[in-house]
């Protein structure tokens, strides 16, 4: 009997170590991506349609399955997350390329290792290739990390713990717990507004002092509202925070490109805030359609907790 136990113990020691590998978000992203190897390429493939992909619908779909929601096109995805140097690439980072040589990002892949990325190419469809061959290297533009970095837990006053669900955003969670996005980022050591399903966030107690940047200015004033650019900010992230579009911020600030720098002061609302007074028969969908915006934008801009509105109510419009 003893001999059998010794043999069994030795057998356990000889099992492949990868059988016990940690299942990280990056691991799950790559596993999901590999499930679609061989899917054909289709330019402009509908987001969520797994019968075919283009490069950006593929990455948006794969990351979306793990609670990380990316914009639809590659150029916009290149503005999300944090910049990563080629020497610091990690599994799950996004690699962006200019294949036309016109200075515009038009392709991307998901980094697996020094010799592997998975992407949807126009010639092959979804497959794995070397991201830094003689073809890809001169066309490489930048890399972005969109998987949130989970910082080690630091000792600090306790508060409520919230587990992120599908559809959650930091702004919605902040509103639910009567706190701010900046307070959530500071309390959880987040480097961006990206969160994923299943992630646990500490909610700062209302009477707790947290070192944080000044909260975003209120959008209820009729005067111009500004935002001071912080490290890690992108125009896309700022536009989400203030429920406006990137094009509106570019227009209001007369920017010639999407490049911004720390300390730059940006207008994030028009000089005079547009408003609408609710009339009988109005719905948020009707108001949004008539004013060429979306229900979600109006909801975020007015901090609405539901779609219920009443006659005489004044709503802010983008």
Which of these is catalytic: 36, 66, 119, 227? 119
| Most distant CA atoms of the chain, gap in Å | 85
Candidates 214, 150, 147; CA nearest to 188 is: 150
User: Per DSSP, what are the bridge partners of residue 95?
Assistant: 109, 143
CA distance 25 to 108: 19
User: 261 catalytic, yes or no?
Assistant: no
Contacts of 69 (CB under 8 A, 6+ apart): 60, 63
Burial-class residue 20 by CB neighbours within 10 Å (0-12, 13-18, 19+).
Answer: exposed
Candidates 314, 229, 219, 304; CA nearest to 269 is: 219
CA distance 93 to 83: 10
CA distance 71 to 146: 12
User: Per DSSP, what are the bridge partners of residue 53?
Assistant: 41
Which of these is catalytic: 36, 66, 69, 107? 107
Which of these is catalytic: 36, 55, 66, 227? 55
Instruction: Report the relative pairing of strands 314-317 and 274-277 from DSSP bridges.
Output: antiparallel
User: 187 catalytic, yes or no?
Assistant: no
User: 227 catalytic, yes or no?
Assistant: no
- 10 Å Cβ neighbour count for 23? 8
54, 120 contact by CB (below 8 A): yes
Residues marked as catalytic: 55, 107, 119
């Amino acid at each position: 009997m003893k001999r059998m136990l010794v043999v069994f113990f030795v057998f356990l020691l000889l099992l492949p170590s990868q059988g016990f590998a940690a299942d990280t978000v990056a691991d799950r992203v790559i596993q999901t991506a590999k499930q679609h190897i061989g899917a054909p390429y289709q330019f402009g493939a509908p987001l969520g349609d797994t019968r075919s992909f283009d490069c950006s619908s593929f990455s948006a779909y794969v990351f979306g399955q793990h609670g990380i929601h990316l914009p639809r096109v590659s150029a916009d995805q290149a503005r999300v997350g944090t910049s990563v140097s080629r020497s610091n690439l990690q599994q799950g980072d996004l690699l962006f390329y200019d294949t036309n040589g016109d200075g515009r990002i038009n392709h991307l892949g998901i980094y697996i290792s020094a010799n592997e990325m998975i992407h949807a190419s126009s010639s092959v469809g979804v497959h794995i290739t070397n991201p830094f061959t003689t073809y890809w290297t001169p066309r490489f533009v930048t890399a972005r990390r969109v998987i949130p970095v989970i910082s080690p837990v630091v000792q600090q006053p306790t508060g409520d713990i919230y587990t992120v669900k599908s559809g959650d955003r930091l702004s919605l969670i902040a509103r639910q717990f009567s706190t701010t996005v900046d307070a959530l980022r500071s309390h959880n050591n987040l480097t961006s507004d990206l969160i994923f399903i299943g992630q646990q966030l500490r909610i700062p107690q209302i009477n707790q002092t947290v070192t944080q940047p000044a909260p975003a200015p209120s959008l209820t004033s009729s005067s111009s509202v500004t935002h001071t650019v912080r490290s890690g900010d992108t125009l896309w992230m700022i536009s989400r925070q203030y429920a406006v579009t990137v094009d509106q911020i570019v227009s209001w600030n007369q920017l010639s490109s999407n490049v911004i720098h720390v300390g730059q002061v940006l207008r994030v609302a028009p000089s005079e805030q547009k408003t609408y007074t609710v009339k009988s028969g109005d719905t948020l969908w009707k108001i949004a359609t008539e004013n060429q915006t979306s229900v979600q934008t109006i909801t975020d801009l007015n901090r609405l907790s539901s779609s219920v509105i009443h006659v005489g109510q004044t709503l802010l419009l983008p």
